[in-house]
Structure formats: C-alpha cells, structure tokens
Amino acid sequence: MLLRVRSWLEWVGVGRVLGTAVVVLAVLAAAYWLVKPPAMPAESALPFASPTSSSMADAATNGDRGIEAGTEPAEVVVHIAGAVVAPGVYSLPSGSRLIDAVRLAGGLAANADADAVNLAAVMADGQRVYVPRVGEPSPPMSTGGVDTTLPGPLDLNRATADELDSLPGVGPATAAAIVRYRDEHGPFGHIDDLANVRGIGPSKMEALRGLVIV
C-alpha cells in the first residue's frame, strides 16, 4: 500500500498534491464563511424590561392614588331638629338627602312647614337641620338649602329684649314690655300669658304661638 502511494506521489508530484490541498481548503473556508450565522449584535446581550410588570406596577400605583384621592365616608351623621316626629342624631349612607333623614326621624310633624327647607339637599357629615313649624321664621338657607344655624323657638323666660325684637310683629316697645312683665310677675308659666302683656292682641298672640316656648 505504501509503495503504491509513494509511486503515485512520484508520478503526480508533491507540488501538485500540496496545491490541490490548498485549493480544497480555500474552497471549504469560503463555503463556511458564506453559510455561517451572523454574529449577534452587542445590544442583544442587554436585559429587556418587562412591559407587563412595569405596566402593572404603574397601574397599581395609580389605583392606590385614586383610592386615596377619592375616599369618602361610608356614612354621615346628622342632627334633625324641629318639627319632625322623633328629633335626634341619625346615621345615613353617604350621599343621602334631607328627605331620607326626615324619614329616619319618623317623618314631618303635623305642624311642620315643609316648604321652608329643601328636602332634596344632600346631607353633609356633622350637619344640623332644623325643620320649622308653620308660622316660624324661615331658617337661613345655606348653599345646599339646609339650615345649620337656626337655634329654634325663643324661650320667653331667657330671651333678651333684642332677641324678642327679632320676632315678627314684635318691635322694641313690645319686647321691652315682655321683659318688664317677666321682671314684675316672674317667669312665664304658659305661652298664653303673653296675652297679658300690653301691645299683644289676639292676632299677634297666634302669630307668636309657634315661635316661643316657656
């Protein structure tokens, strides 16, 4: 076998064999260069942020902020006074209206002046509502149409002359006469005792009946 190879090399020539080998290697190298995959760019080795996780985090943060900004009490506590069946302090769901509070208080009393208040007004936490009786001065209205300051009927035995002067039909002279009568005869025992005060006739007596107490 070796003799045959040696004789073949002598016949072909070593130079031809080496030249052929070089050509074959060059062809193989060119073929490999053409078919090999391209090198990965440097950017491909960098880590990618997950858009899903970041979006979820942003959404959660925004959701928490929205909850904090829009937090409202689940219920409000209001004081219903005046001409209702059961005056008192009541709890209502947030967003309730005056009509809902009046219903909790047993409804309007028979002598209530329903037109003096806004039954559609939205209630606020800590609010006081006074429903006047027929003949009482209309309560001062806030933006929502709900009274929050009216103290109620005047106590004849405690009211000052200036407070009595604010009653309809009672001027400074009549107010002074009421105070003088109280000082001379003692505390009023009944509202009808007002008829004994100079300047108070039957019509004025009826007008004041729902505005004063003893």
Query: How far are the Cα atoms of 48, 68, 70 from residue 57, in angstroms, in the given order?
Result: 16, 17, 20
CB 84 within 8 A of CB 112: yes
CB 178 within 8 A of CB 164: yes
User: What residues pair up with 79 in beta bridges, in sequence order?
Assistant: 89, 128
58/157: higher pLDDT: 157
Q: What letter does residue 68 receive in the DSSP assignment?
A: H
Highest mean pLDDT among 114-118, 167-171, 175-179: 175-179
pLDDT at residue 105, rounded to an integer? 93
Q: Is the pLDDT of residue 146 over 50?
A: no
Phi, psi of 79 (to 5 degrees): -110, 120
Give the separation between CA 139 and CA 32, rounded to whole angstroms: 99
pLDDT at residue 27, rounded to an integer? 67
Give the separation between CA 54 and CA 202, rounded to whole angstroms: 81
Q: Please, what is the average pLDDT of the chain?
A: 74
Please compute the mean of the pLDDT values over residues 200-206 and round it to a whole number. Answer: 83
Q: How confident is the model at residue 71 (pLDDT cuts 50, 70, 90)?
A: low
Q: Is the pLDDT of residue 160 over 50?
A: yes
CB 137 within 8 A of CB 163: no
Q: How confident is the model at residue 181 (pLDDT cuts 50, 70, 90)?
A: very high
Q: How confident is the model at residue 38 (pLDDT cuts 50, 70, 90)?
A: low
pLDDT at residue 23, rounded to an integer? 65
14/133: higher pLDDT: 133
SS3 for 123-162 is CCCCCEEEECECCCCCCCCCCCCCCCCCCCCEECCCCCHH
Q: How confident is the model at residue 99 (pLDDT cuts 50, 70, 90)?
A: very high
Q: How confident is the model at residue 191 (pLDDT cuts 50, 70, 90)?
A: confident
Q: What letter does residue 117 receive in the DSSP assignment?
A: S
Query: Is the sign of the CA dihedral 106, 107, 113, 115 positive or negative?
Result: positive
> How far is residue 205 CA from its own chain's centroid?
47
Q: Is the pLDDT of residue 67 over 90?
A: no
Provide the token pair at 205: 């007596």
Provide the token pair at 76: 């409000």
* 210 closest CA partner among 174, 167, 172, 181: 167
Q: Is the pLDDT of residue 157 over 50?
A: yes
pLDDT at residue 69, rounded to an integer? 45
